[in-house]
Amino acid sequence: MEKLIGNLLYGQSGGPTSIINTSAYGIFIEAFKHKNIINSIYAMNYGIQGLLDDKLIKILDNDTLLKNLLNTPGSAFGSNRFKLKSFDEDPLTYKKILEIFKKYNIRYFFYNGGNDSMDTINKISTYLEKENYKCNCIGIIKTIDNDLPSTDFSLGYPSAAKFIINAALEIYLDDISYKEGRVNIIETMGRNAGWLAASAKLLEVRGVKADLIYVPEVLFDLNDFLNKVEEIYNKKKHALIIISEGLKNNEGSFIFETNSLLDSFGHNQLGGLSIKLANLITSKLGIKTRYYELSLLQRANSICNSKIEQKIAIRLSKFAVKSAINGVNKKIVVVNRISSNPFKYNFKLVDINDIANKERYLDDIYINKENNYINDNFIEYLLPLIDGEKGLLNIYKINK
Amino acid sequence: MEKLIGNLLYGQSGGPTSIINTSAYGIFIEAFKHKNIINSIYAMNYGIQGLLDDKLIKILDNDTLLKNLLNTPGSAFGSNRFKLKSFDEDPLTYKKILEIFKKYNIRYFFYNGGNDSMDTINKISTYLEKENYKCNCIGIIKTIDNDLPSTDFSLGYPSAAKFIINAALEIYLDDISYKEGRVNIIETMGRNAGWLAASAKLLEVRGVKADLIYVPEVLFDLNDFLNKVEEIYNKKKHALIIISEGLKNNEGSFIFETNSLLDSFGHNQLGGLSIKLANLITSKLGIKTRYYELSLLQRANSICNSKIEQKIAIRLSKFAVKSAINGVNKKIVVVNRISSNPFKYNFKLVDINDIANKERYLDDIYINKENNYINDNFIEYLLPLIDGEKGLLNIYKINK
C-alpha cells in the first residue's frame, strides 16, 4: 500500500492533564523518525480554534526542548472548549477546516482529548472522507476523570490519582501530628465518575486508611454522613474523608442545590462541596474541620507524575503514529490490560464511535455495600498504573 | 571538660513542616555515633504533653527505617500546642518535667519548633539549671513562616516556598492553556509574615510573572485591588495573584472582618481569604475566578522537598548534637549566610532569648513601592535555598 506523504497536525482539546504534553512528545519524536513520509509537524495553537484562525505552530526537531514537554503541565500548545457542530448546522466551519488542511498539506491528524474531542475528530474525518481528501485521523485519549469507555484507563488519570493519594497521605500525616485532630474533607474532581475519589483507597498500600470515600455513582445522604462523621470523630479524634465534587443527593440533584439546611450559603456562591460540608459539620456537630479542594493541582501537578503512565503515554503515541503511517484512519488507540500482576498490556485500535460522547463510570464491583468506601479489588486495578508502591511516599512509623 | 553521659530527648512542637522529620533524622544519626556518651535516644510522643504523660518513644538504631523520616511530612513523633506557663504560675508541671528527666537520665535535650517552642526550651533549661540538674538544651528551629529572627532562614520555609512556586507555575500553565482564562487567586499561609507569598516572585526564574503579590506587612486596599484586577484581566484575559492569608485592611484588621461589602458571608464562616476575594471579583466585576487555598499541602508536601534544605537541616542537627556534647547549653543553632552566589553558610549558636517569642517580618527592601509585588533582590535570597533553578519545573515554551 502506498503511504500518504505530507505533514502532520497535532491538537490538544478539553481540560489539561499533567500527561497531555507527554502524549505530544511521543507523537513528535516518532514522527521525526519518518521524515520521508511526514515532512513537517504542526500543532494547533488553541486546538480547533487555532486551526480555524490559521494559527499553527511548527514543531522544531530539538529533543532537548521537546523533553521539557515531559515536565510541563497544562496544554502546552493551547486547548479550547470549541464544540464542533454538525456539518448541516455549520458547513462553513468544515470548509474552512478543509482549506487549512489543504494549505498545510495535512495528511496525518492526531487530536488529543476526552469524549467531546473524540466527537470532533469523528466529524472532521467523516467530512474529509466525504470530500475525498486523504488524511489519517487518530484520537489520543486524555482525561483525568478516567471516564472514557473501551480503554483500561485514560491518560492523565494515573498521575492525577497519584497526586491525590500522596496529598491525602500528607494531610493525614499532618493531622495525626496532633493527638486531637480534625475532620479533614478532601474534594477531588469527577462530576459524574468516581475514579479520582476512589484512588484514595490506595492509602492502604502505606498502611493508612481513609475513613470514608464518597463517589458520585451512588446517592449521598447528608444525615447519614453527619452521623457517620460524628461517630468516627468521637472515637478517633481524627477523620479523613474523600469526596467527589459531583455527589448527588437522594433526589438525584447535586447536594446543596436543593438542600434547605444551607439556604443561607446560596448555591450561586463560589466554594466547593468540601467547604459546604465542612461548614455544616462545624455548625451542626461543633467539630473542627479542614477542607481541601485539590482543584487544578490534581490535573496540573507534574512533579509526582507516574513514570509508568508517562512510559505508556509515549508508547501509545508512537503506536498511533506508526498505525497512521500504515493507513489506519478514524480510530482511537486504547490500552488493553492483559494482566495486573505482573502488569502487562498492549494497544488496540477501536472505532471512534465506541468512545465519542460516551461516559464510563466507576464499576459497581469497586464500591462497598454501604456506599461509603472502596473495595480491595480496586488496588489491583490502580496500583500497577502508579509505579507500584515505589511511586508513593515511604513513611516512617513510630514504634509505640 | 568532662562530658555529660546519659540519654538524649528529642521533641517536636508547633505546626508540622515537611522538613521537621529531617531534623530529627540528623539528631538521631549523629547521636548514634556517640554511644559511649549518649546511651539511648528518646522522642516525646506529642511534645511536652507526651513528656508529662511519661510517653517517650525509644528510637531504634536502624538506618533503613530512619531514612523514611526524610520523606515523611507531619511531625512523626507527634506535636502539641501545649503552652508552658511560668514556674510561678505552674510549679507542679516543672517538677513533673524534672522527675521524668531524672527517670530517663536525660542529659541532652533538643526541642524542635518555632518561637513558642524556643520559649518552652528556655523555661525548661532555666529551671533545670536552678535545680542543679545538668542537661544541655538546644533549640532546633522550625517554621514554614520563616518568621524567626537571627537566622538566614527557618527550616521548613525553603521547601514550602518551593511547593508554592511550583504550584503557582502549574496553575499558571493550566490557565494559559485557554486563550481566555480566569483570575487565579492563590492563598499562602503567613498571618503576619509575607515570606511564603513572596516566594512566588521566583516564577520569574522560569520566565513567568505573577501579576500581583500581596503580603501582610503592608496594608491591603480592597478597592485598589479590584481596580487593579479589572485592569489586568481586561488586558490579558488571565491573571495570577498570590495573597498571604493574613492581609490587613487600612484599619489594620484582617480584611473581611470589618468589611461591610461582605457582611452577607459572615466572618465566622469557614473559607479562606482567597474564596472571599474570588467571590467579590465575580460579583463586582463579573470576571471568572478560581481560588486555591494551598492550606496544609504547603507545609506537608514532601515530594518536592528542597534537597539543599534537607542537607542543611541534617548538618544543622549534627552540629547541634556535637555542640551539646561539647557543653553548649541554652542555645539555638541558626544558619548564617556568608554569600549568596556561590551560596555559602555556616552555623552559629545564639542565645535562646534572641529568638523566643520574637517575629521577623519580610524585610522592606523586598517589597515594591506599590506594595503589590516583590523586588528582584528577593531572588538572590531565596533561590540558593531551593536547589537553584534545578528544583523548579523545566517548562516547554512554544515558539509563536
Residue range(s) defining the domain that contains residue A139: 6-155+305-354
pLDDT exceeds cutoff 80 at A263 = no
Of the two residues B357 and B99, the one the predictor is more confident about is B99
For residues B151 and B210, state if they share a domain. Answer: no
Is there a single domain that holds both residue A315 and residue A238?
Answer: no
Task: Give the separation between CA A336 and CA A141, rounded to whole angstroms.
Answer: 13
Task: Please give the grid coordinates belonging to residue B34.
Answer: 556517640
In a domain, B143, yes or no: yes
Grid cell, residue A275, equals: 467547604
- Phi and psi for B163 in degrees, rounded to 5? -60, -45
Size of interface A-B (CB pairs under 8 A): 189
Which residue in A22, A57, A65, A170 has the most chain B C-beta atoms within 10 A of its own C-beta, making it the best mutation to test that interface? A170
Question: According to the model, what pLDDT value does residue A271 have?
Answer: 60
- B15 shares a domain with B90: yes
Residue keyed to cell 476512589: A198
> Chain B contacts of A397, Cβ < 8 Å?
68
Instruction: Choose, out of B170, B302, B307, B400, the residue to mutate when testing the contact with A (most A CBs < 10 Å).
Output: B170
Give the list of residues 6+ apart from residue A148 with CB closer than 8 angstroms, or none.
A114, A115, A118, A141, A154, A355, A358, A360
Q: Please write the tens of the pLDDT for every residue from B225-247.
A: 999 999 999 999 999 999 999 99
The residue behind cell 517517650 is: B56
Is pLDDT of B259 > 70?
no
Phi, psi of A340, deg, nearest 5: -95, -30
Quickly state the pLDDT bin for B266 (edges 50, 70, 90): very low
Of A74, A166, A176, the CB nearest to B173: A74
What residues of A are labeled active site?
A: 145
Q: Look at residue A319 and tell me whether its pLDDT is greater than 70.
A: yes
Count how many domains chain A has: 2
- Say yes or no for a CB contact (<8 Å) between A170 and B278: no
Instruction: Dump pLDDT digits (tens) for A173-218.
Output: 999 999 999 999 999 999 899 999 999 999 999 899 999 999 999 9
Residue in A269, A304, A399 nearest the CB of B57: A399
Predicted confidence (pLDDT) at residue B256 exceeds the cutoff of 80: no
Same domain assignment for residues B259 and B387? yes
Which residue from B105, B117, B142, B132 is spatially nearest to B8, judged by alpha carbons?
A: B105
Pairwise CB contact (< 8 Å): A296 & B21 = no
Residue A279 belongs to a domain: yes
Which of B81, B265, B303 lies nearest to residue A304, judging by beta carbons?
B303
Task: With a cut of 90, say whether residue B400 has pLDDT above it.
Answer: no
Average pLDDT over residues B15-28: 97
Per-residue pLDDT at A356 = 74
Same domain, A89 and A190: no
Flag whether A230 is in a domain.
yes
**Cell (9 digits) for A70:** 515531559
Helix (H, G, I), strand (E, B) or coil at B187: strand
Query: Is residue A60 predicted with pLDDT exceeding 50?
Result: yes
CB A232, CB A239: distance < 8 Å: yes
Residue A230 is part of a domain; what is its CATH number? 3.40.50.460
Burial category of B322 from C-beta neighbours within 10 Å (exposed 0-12, middle 13-18, buried 19 and up): middle
Residue A399 lies in a domain: no
**Same domain for B241 and B294?**
yes
**B256 vs A122, residue with greater confidence:** A122
A143 and A171 fall within a common domain:
no
B145 is catalytic: yes
The CA distance from A159 to A147, in Å, is 15
Shared-domain flag, residues A253 and A272? yes
Alpha helices in chain A (DSSP H): 20-31, 47-52, 63-67, 91-103, 115-130, 157-175, 195-198, 222-236, 273-285, 297-300, 307-325, 377-382
Q: Which of B177, B323, B293 is nearest to B238 (CA)?
A: B177
